[in-house]
Structure 1
Amino acid sequence: MGEEQSLRQKTAKGLFWGGLSNSLQQLLGLLFGIVLARLLSRSDYGMIGMLTIFSTIANILQESGFISALVNRKNASDKDYNAVFWFSVSCSAILYILLYLSAPLIAEFYRTPELVPLSRLTFLSFFIASLGIAPRAILFRNLKVKENTIISLSSLTLSGITAIVLAVNGFAYWGIAIQSLVYVAVVVILNWYFAKWMPSFHFDFSPIKEMFGFSSKMLITNIFMTINNNLFSVLLGKFYTKQAVGDFSQANKWNNMGHSLITGMINGVAQPVLASITEDTQRQVAVFRKMLRFTAFISFPAMFGLSIVSKEFIVITITDKWLVSAQMMQLLCIWGAFIPINNLFSNLLVSRGRSSVFMFCNITLSILQLITACLSYPYGITMMIYLFITINILWLFVWYFFVKREIPLTLSCVLKDIAPYFLLAATLTASAYYITLGIRNLYLSLLIKIVLVVFLYALILWKLQSVIFRECIEFIRKKI
């Protein structure tokens, strides 16, 4: 009983700090994003957007899935962390050299010569990030969510200020590139500070061999996920214009900020907590279902709400030069509402050591979306987004199929956990959208939509005596 109470307290504390961290991060990201979007052009964002897939894949290669492997390891030792540190740094150095030499080829692919020096600077960030992988794994494994909050907020603040100063002084897209470098450097420094760990010069890579079976599958999976998440930017950069890439990058940035608020909060505790109770299946089912209800309770109203205010939000904050982004954002946020739920299902599989299933699901999804994108891009960006939304929502049932093989979780239980929040959020946001159709004042329309959805959502859940809602209110009261 004491162990269960301790796990509950750790989970609640982790969710609280994760929620606070991600809320403050998104608020800061919102403020910096608004200022930069006003200062920079659609082409500036397009230049960075075209390189995102390369730097992200490089980041995944140098991390190689070892953070998840270390978390799942029953008794991770200093020897394990030391091996991961030196392996990551070595791989990153080699990767940076290869990408440095490949910069002209990347520029030729996009027919944009300016990408040669820009890519060489941008790719430095993943090498710097490799220095912080081992200490980051220590903090993550030990649920140091408070420390991660400080790290995230500090790095976001310093890098955001740097980007604004550079943008004001006419550095254009260079400012965004340098912002990434500053962000990563601050994260690495603070990870070392809080982890209180130092590597040794004893080079023993035997732990890498032991973890490679698990981590290699995570690596392959993450590469395909990255390709999938950045597919639009690559296709738009190749077949459309820099402005089109910029429009999509802007829309996707706000969508990512929305669902990352929820996924970041859940990811901070999901895998470590679920991994700690894998031997007690019934208890794991109970914990997973509670996490599922909490995720649906937050995700659907937040993302559906962001979808219906996308036009007002974009025009008011970053002006109507980004109006095309608002239309894309409205659709992407519907997709974004399901990402935290899919993410929770995948966390359960990883916590049970099923990295092969995790890999299979993501590779299949990525290939399906790649085929869909290649077939549909001639019909326009909107058609591609519609198809992506449909595929990703339906993929929830694929995740469920594999989770059911691990734990006794019925489909009726899953629907019972998420359907009430989905139906309530969808009904309220649709109603608010149609009620405000005749209102031309953007500020008034934005205010009415937010008040209607938030007030009615809270009121209805209170009247229906929603356990999740009441527990959240009670926990916040205690914290205050």
Structure 2
Amino acid sequence: MAESLKEKTAKGLFWSGINNGAMQLLNLIFGIVTSRILNDTDYGMIGMLSIFSLIAASLQESGFTSALANKKEIRHEDYNAVFWFSSAISVTLYLILFFCAPLIADFYDNENLIPLARYAFLGFVISSLGISQNAYLFRNLMVKQKTIASISGLAVSGIVGIIMACLGCSYWSIATQSIVYISVLNICLWSFSPWRPTLKFSFKPLKGMVNFSAKLMITNIFNHINNNLFSIILGKYYSEKEVGQFNQANKWNYMGHSFISSMVGSVAQPMFNQVGSDQTRQQRVFRKMLRFTAFIAFPSMLGLSFIAPELITITITAKWLPSAHILQILAIGGAFIPITALYSNLIISKGKSNIFMWNTITLGILQLIAMLILSPYGLKNMLTVYVAINIGWLFVWHYFVFREIKLSLWAALKDVVPYAGIALLAIAAAYFITGHITDIYLLILTKITVTAILYGGLMWICGSETFKESLSYLLKKTGKK
């Protein structure tokens, strides 16, 4: 059983990495091209509205996708109730936001946001039409179909966004890109899902799902608030340019840590559920996952911080260089986000959604208070404290993990700190080795190569089992191909 679980986990991590990698690559390509054409003000205009769309999307979905997936027995009436409920909520929310657009514009002191908001918010209305279809594919493990749908949506919307940007449509091209993505995604979901809504419906099936789904909805809303906190505060107290520069940096940071979090998260919760109630085995499996996450996250995200100025300048030109300095700070915090995701997956696997929800809410409130207090002192100070709070909150997550599987803080630190230390040592050495290089292309290439060689070499010298197992599995997969 142990060997079976180990192999299943390795395969899950491998294929999840490939799927997420393809998605991130498309996002990266289209993002680079669009960023070269548009400016920080264009991205700032969209950034100031993103929080409203995300919260509305969470309210319309209301956690029912996971609730439908968790039902032991499911009927047409369940999907139908969710479909009509989501559609009704989305139309209601759109009408509210449509008439509130002038208030949003007054908050940011920008009248151009009124027509843009009313156009961009159409996205979550369209999105509601695919929630039940998405839940059907998710419940029936139709991963291939969901991947095709997502990639198709990214490809078509990316092309549309680039064409509109070239035609001088500025921030309208970004808004349209988002709407086209959702539309193509939904068309694909409807084509892959055999389920269809009917006009005869009842909301009674929702009663059995509300207790579970409501907690997820609240948690998702606070996660969106946490992730978009800076866009709101910068839009209010600074300008569209600062919002645009931050959003650009945050996009690169998100691509990095979400790739790792998604790869680990795709197998973590199912794996924890399969381990059973054996606390010793639970702890052993969790520590193995913790070491793997730290092994990947620290060199990747700290390395991203290290090469940020060169990466931003080469890919999206020097006009975005201020975002590189923001990215350097964000990426340090991003190194710890996959670890936080692993901790939260364990908590959820134990059925403790209350802990997950209140942890997220408390963190969000703490961050909001800190950012409001620090808003007069500049973006750099705000970012530094924001990252410090997120890293420090890991100790709170660990307390709850300790209560579940009795993993001591010292044991967790022994699993995490060596990888962080070795990554920092490799980066520090690469910094001094490459200090004399002036050509930007040679500099970034040398930084990456030297850091990777040093990190891998130090892993080998230190006898890291995680490194050797990962290398062995990759070589085996390559050999098979």
TM-score (norm. length: structure 1): 0.93
**Does the Cα contact within 8 Å between 1:227 and 1:366 map onto a contact in 2?**
yes
**Does the Cα contact within 8 Å between 2:374 and 2:381 map onto a contact in 1?**
yes
RMSD: 2.1
Identity of aligned residues (%): 54
Aligned position for 1:23: 21
Shift of 1:5: 5.4
Shift of 1:473: 2.8
**Does the Cα contact within 8 Å between 1:18 and 1:145 map onto a contact in 2?**
no
Aligned partner (choices 467, 470, 478) of residue 469 of structure 1: 467
Secondary structure at 1:405 match in 2: helix
Mapping of 1:200-349 within 5 angstroms?
Answer: 200-277=198-275, 279=277, 281-349=279-347
Number of positions where the alignment pairs a residue of Structure 1 with one of Structure 2: 478
Closer, same or farther in 2 for the Cα pair 1:270/1:152, shift >3 Å?
Answer: farther
Secondary structure at 1:245 match in 2: helix
Shift of 1:31: 1.5
Aligned position for 1:403: 401
Mapped to 2, the partners of 1:475 and 1:193 lie a distance apart of 36
Shift of 1:326: 0.8
Mapping of 1:147-166 within 5 angstroms?
Answer: 147-166=145-164
Secondary structure at 2:437 match in 1: coil
The one-letter code matched in structure 1 to 2:398 is Y
Deviations 1:274-316 (A, max 9, x none): 3455555554444333322222111111100000000001111
Shift of 1:220: 1.3
Aligned position for 2:375: 377
The one-letter code matched in structure 1 to 2:330 is L
Mapped to 2, the partners of 1:331 and 1:463 lie a distance apart of 30
**Does the Cα contact within 8 Å between 2:41 and 2:241 map onto a contact in 1?**
yes
Secondary structure at 2:222 match in 1: helix
Which runs of at least 4 in structure 1 moved beyond 6 Å after TM superposition? none
Secondary structure at 2:336 match in 1: helix
Aligned position for 2:181: 183
Shift of 1:197: 3.0
The one-letter code matched in structure 2 to 1:150 is I
Mapped to 2, the partners of 1:207 and 1:334 lie a distance apart of 45
Shift of 1:233: 0.7
Aligned position for 1:41: 39
Mapped to 1, the partners of 2:74 and 2:352 lie a distance apart of 19
- 2:102 maps to 1:104: yes
Higher mean alpha-carbon deviation, 398-407 vs 246-255, is at 398-407
Higher mean alpha-carbon deviation, 464-473 vs 212-221, is at 464-473
Closer, same or farther in 2 for the Cα pair 1:425/1:149, shift >3 Å?
Answer: farther
Aligned position for 1:459: 457
Closer, same or farther in 2 for the Cα pair 1:392/1:158, shift >3 Å?
Answer: same
Mapped to 1, the partners of 2:272 and 2:139 lie a distance apart of 12
Higher mean alpha-carbon deviation, 67-76 vs 339-348, is at 67-76
The one-letter code matched in structure 2 to 1:304 is L
The one-letter code matched in structure 1 to 2:214 is S
Closer, same or farther in 2 for the Cα pair 1:347/1:433, shift >3 Å?
Answer: same
Mapped to 1, the partners of 2:117 and 2:276 lie a distance apart of 43
Aligned partner (choices 448, 451, 461) of residue 450 of structure 1: 448
Give the gaps of 5 or more residues in structure 1.
Answer: none
Secondary structure at 2:359 match in 1: helix
Shift of 1:79: 4.2
The one-letter code matched in structure 2 to 1:53 is I
**Does the Cα contact within 8 Å between 1:14 and 1:145 map onto a contact in 2?**
no
Mapped to 2, the partners of 1:123 and 1:278 lie a distance apart of 44
Aligned position for 1:117: 115
The one-letter code matched in structure 2 to 1:37 is S
Mapped to 1, the partners of 2:441 and 2:84 lie a distance apart of 53
The one-letter code matched in structure 2 to 1:119 is A
The one-letter code matched in structure 2 to 1:262 is I
The one-letter code matched in structure 2 to 1:113 is E
The one-letter code matched in structure 1 to 2:365 is I
Closer, same or farther in 2 for the Cα pair 1:207/1:349, shift >3 Å?
Answer: farther
Shift of 1:352: 2.1
Mapped to 1, the partners of 2:146 and 2:22 lie a distance apart of 12
Mapped to 1, the partners of 2:287 and 2:190 lie a distance apart of 35
Secondary structure at 2:97 match in 1: helix
The one-letter code matched in structure 2 to 1:328 is I
Closer, same or farther in 2 for the Cα pair 1:406/1:135, shift >3 Å?
Answer: farther
Deviations 1:432-475 (A, max 9, x none): 23432332221121011100111222233234443333333333
